[in-house]
Amino acid sequence: MGMIELVKVKARQCVKKIVLPEGDEPRTVQAAVKILQEKIAFPILIGDPKAIKNVATEKGVDITGIEIVNPQDSPKAAEYTNALYELRKAKGVTEEQAKQLVQDPMYYGIMMVKLGDADGLVSGAVHTTGDMLRPALQIIKTKPGIKVVSSSFLLDCPNKSLGHNGLLVYSDCVVVPCPNAEELASIAVSAAETARVLCGIEEPKVALLSFSTKGSAKHELVTKVQEATRIAHELSPDLALDGEMQFDAAIIPEIGASKAKGSPVAGHANVLIFPDLQAGNIGYKITQRIGGAEAFAVLQGLAKPCNDLSRGCSVDDIVATVALTAVQAQG
Ligand code: ACO
C-alpha cells in the first residue's frame, strides 16, 4: 500500500471535519464528493450554495450530504467577528475590519478551525500560499513549545533502500526563508513529529544538513547548523538526531560510516533538515523531478492543521491533502 493509501486508512479511523474555503472551485467540489464517499473526512464547503450546486451539476457530481456554509448569511458570523476582533485588536484590527474579514471565505474558514467548528483546513487551488498562511499564522498560531510554523515534504522515492522504505521527510521547503539556529532546531523537532504522525516512522532519524560533515569545513553557515543541532538535542533529548552533515553522509550508509563514524543517524537518516528555504525548496524539487519521487506537502507547528495546495493540483491531490490534514487533526 502506498503512503497516501495508508494515510487514508488512518483518517477513516476517527473521521474529522475539514473545511475547504474555495468551495465553488470545480476540483474542490469534485474532491469533496470523493472525500465523503471514501469516508476520509466530513468536508465543509464555504461559498454560495447556489454557485456550488451549479458547479456540481456542471461536473455531474452529487453533493448530497456535504455541508455548505455561506459567510454572507451565516448565523456564526457575529461570533467569529467578535473572536477575531479580540484576537487581533492589539494589532490594530477594528471591529468593522473584523466584520469585513469574516466575510472572506479564507478568514471564515480559519475562524471555524480556531473556534473548533472544523478540525482542519485545506486551500490553495486558487489562493497563493501566503493568502492562507498569513491568516493561519495570525489566528491559529503555533503549538505550545514550537517556535515557528514550517513545512515538511513527504517524498515517496522509487528507491526503497533510502530512508524509511523509500520515504524521506524534507523540511523546511515552503515557509521560513532564513531560519536562525533556534528556528532551525524547532523545525527539526516538528519534522520528526510529522514523520511519526503521517509516515508511521516510529523512530525518526533526523539529520541537519550542511555542506560540511562534523567540522570538515569552517564557516558561519556551518556554525549555525551546529548550534541548531545542539538546541534540538536540548528540546528533544530522546530524538535520534545529528548534524551538521552533508546530504550523502546522511543517506548513504557507507559514506555516513566513513564521514560521521558513530553517528546515530548518518547513512540512515529519514528526516532531512535543510539549512534554509532556498536549499529546502530546491532539494525537494530535485528529488521529485530527477529522482522521480512522489511529493506531498504539509504545514507543521500550527496549533491546528491547515494545509496548502499547489494551484495546479488535481482532484486526487486535494483528496490526499485532506487525508493528511485529517490525520494531523487526530494528533
Ligand atoms: N511561524 C510562526 N509565526 C509566523 C511565522 C512563522 N514561520 N512567520 C510569520 N509569523 C507570524 C508573525 O509573527 C506575525 O504574527 P503577528 O501578526 O501576530 O505579530 C504574522 O505571522 C504575520 O507575519 P508577517 O511577517 O507580517 O508575515 P509575512 O507577510 O512575512 O508572511 C509568510 C509570512 C507568508 C510565511 C512569509 O514568510 C513567506 O512568504 N514565506 C515564504 C512562502 C513562499 O513563498 N514559499 C515558497 C513557495 S511554496 C512552494 O514552493 C510549494
Residues 6+ apart with CB under 8 A from 182: 147, 228, 231
Contacts with 78 (C-beta within 8 Å, 6 or more apart), sequence order: none
Residue nearest to atom 18 of ligand 1 (CA): 138
Alpha carbon of 311 to ligand 1 centroid (Å) = 19
Strand order in the sheet with 67-69: 67-69, 41-46, 16-20, 120-123, 306-308
Torsion, Cα of 282, 245, 299, 143 (10° steps): -150
Identify the segments of the chain with pLDDT beneath 50: none
Which pLDDT does position 145 carry in this prediction? 86
User: Which residues are within 8 A (CB) of 160 and not within 5 positions of it... i.e. 6 or more apart?
Assistant: 166
138 lines ligand 1 (CB under 6 A): yes
Ligand 1 center to residue 36 CA distance, Å?
Answer: 32
Would you say 113 and 19 are in contact if contact means Cβ atoms under 8 Å apart?
Answer: yes
Buried-state track 290-321, b at ≥16 Cβ within 10 A, e below 16:
ebebbbbbbbbbbbbbbbbbeeebebebbbbb
Nearest-atom number in ligand 1 for the CA of 150 is 7
Beta carbon of 132 within 6 Å of any ligand 1 atom? no
Q: Please classify residue 201 by burial: count the beta carbons closer than 10 Å to its beta carbon, then call 0-12 exposed, 13-18 middle and 19+ buried.
A: buried
pLDDT at 331: 84
239 lines ligand 1 (CB under 6 A): no
Pocket test for ligand 1, best of 89, 132, 134 (most atoms within 8 A of CB): 134
**Residues contacting residue 44 through CB under 8 Å, at least 6 positions apart:** 17, 18, 19, 20, 66, 67, 68, 69, 112, 118
What's the CA gap between 43 and 32, in Å, rounded? Answer: 6
Domains of the chain, with CATH numbers?
3-141+303-330 (3.40.50.10950), 150-296 (3.40.50.10750)
Q: Which of 86, 155, 175 to mutate to test the pocket of ligand 1 (most atoms within 8 A of CB)?
A: 175
Give the nearest ligand 1 atom to 285 CA: 50
89 lines ligand 1 (CB under 6 A): no
**Atom 48 of ligand 1, residue of closest alpha carbon:** 174
Q: What are the helix and strand counts (H, E) for the chain?
A: 13, 11
Identify any residues that bridge with 243 across adjacent strands, giving them in sequence order: 208
Is the minimum distance from the CB of 188 to ligand 1 under 6 angstroms?
Answer: no
**151 ligand 1 Cβ < 6 A:** no
Scanning the structure block, which residue is given the C-alpha cell 475547504?
A: 20
Q: 281: Cβ below 6 Å to ligand 1?
A: yes
Query: In the prediction, which pLDDT does 252 show?
Result: 97
- Model pLDDT, residue 111: 98
At residue 2, the pLDDT reads 84
Q: How far is the CA of 120 from the centre of ligand 1 (A)?
A: 19
Q: Is the distance from the beta carbon of residue 133 to the nearest atom of ligand 1 less than 6 Å?
A: yes
Q: What is the pTM of this model?
A: 0.94
Would you say the CB of residue 148 lies under 6 angstroms from ligand 1? yes
